[in-house]
Amino acid sequence: MKSAVLASVTLIFPSCVFAARPFVTDDARLTTGGSCQFESWTRIYPDGRELWALPACNPTGNLEFTFGGGRAKYDGESPTRDFVFQAKTLFRPLETNGWGWGLAAGTIRHPEINPGPNLLGNTYAYVPASLSLHDDRVVVHANLGWLKDRASGRSSASWGIGGEFSLQPGLLGIAETYGDNHGMAYGQMGVRYSVIPDLFQVDATTGQQLAGPGKNHWLSFGIRYTPDRLF
């Protein structure tokens, strides 16, 4: 059973649920203060599919809350659902040609969706850091985190590093790798395109498992809506 095979890698690093699409590795940025954003995406595996929807709001300017969930259906299995909540703040916001870092922590309930490439844990915290180069034409992100699985009681360290690269106005290339201290590693690459600059984006990626038991691979397609002000 797919979910049983992947249960051993539940304890990695959950930021893909909350990082700016299509990244798994989170960045030192927040949703605009006084506004919210909405992200949704699907992940397609050879034997299943996931659908996620995650709104996030930043009411104070430096404290972002994300709450949402996902639904998955794999061949021969009943559909499953997960619900997630996260809070994130920055100690140094990322600026052009500068660097930034922050802290995020959260929890997931009913952790049944494909844990491997989603890197979902029950309770977790991580530090996102970002570096801007060449007037934001290259931005590098790195994460270091911790998670604890409620069922097994096992704790894990997690890591991730990724980069976004300006290919042409409105089009970014992305590449990243991420994993944990138990030998699991994943990688993905793709593009993000701003259909309406600073408001509506679409993305597409392909990814696969690089190390550890299993041979997971997937395609992902997503959208991101980021209005400037809502309240």
Q: Please, are residues 135 and 122 in contact by the beta-carbon 8 Å criterion? A: no
Q: Is 168 inside a domain boundary?
A: yes
Q: Please, are residues 185 and 179 in contact by the beta-carbon 8 Å criterion? A: yes
Number of domains in the chain: 1
For position 25, what pLDDT does the model report? 92
For position 113, what pLDDT does the model report? 59
Residues 6 or more apart in contact with residue 153 via CB below 8 angstroms = none
Residue-number span of the structural domain to which 70 is assigned: 2-225
Q: Is 129 inside a domain boundary?
A: yes
> What is the per-residue pLDDT across 11-38, written as a single tens digit (0 to 9) for each?
344 444 467 888 989 999 999 999 999 9
Here the CATH number for the domain that contains residue 76 is 2.40.160.40
Q: Is 174 inside a domain boundary?
A: yes
Q: Is 88 inside a domain boundary?
A: yes
Q: Is 147 inside a domain boundary?
A: yes
Q: Please, are residues 222 and 22 in contact by the beta-carbon 8 Å criterion? A: yes
Q: Is 231 inside a domain boundary?
A: no
Q: Which of 48, 130, 125 is nearest to 86 (CA)?
A: 125
What CA–CA distance (Å, rounded) separates 174 from 22? 8
Q: Is 230 inside a domain boundary?
A: no
Q: Please, are residues 138 and 166 in contact by the beta-carbon 8 Å criterion? A: yes
Going residue by residue through the chain, which has 231 residues, state the pLDDT in tens, using 9 for 90 and above. 444 333 333 334 444 446 788 898 999 999 999 999 999 999 999 989 999 999 999 999 999 999 998 898 888 888 888 888 999 999 999 999 999 999 999 988 765 556 666 655 578 999 999 999 999 999 999 999 998 877 677 888 999 999 999 999 999 999 999 988 888 899 999 999 999 999 999 999 999 999 877 778 999 999 999 998 877
Angle 144-37-103 from CA coordinates, rounded to 5°: 20
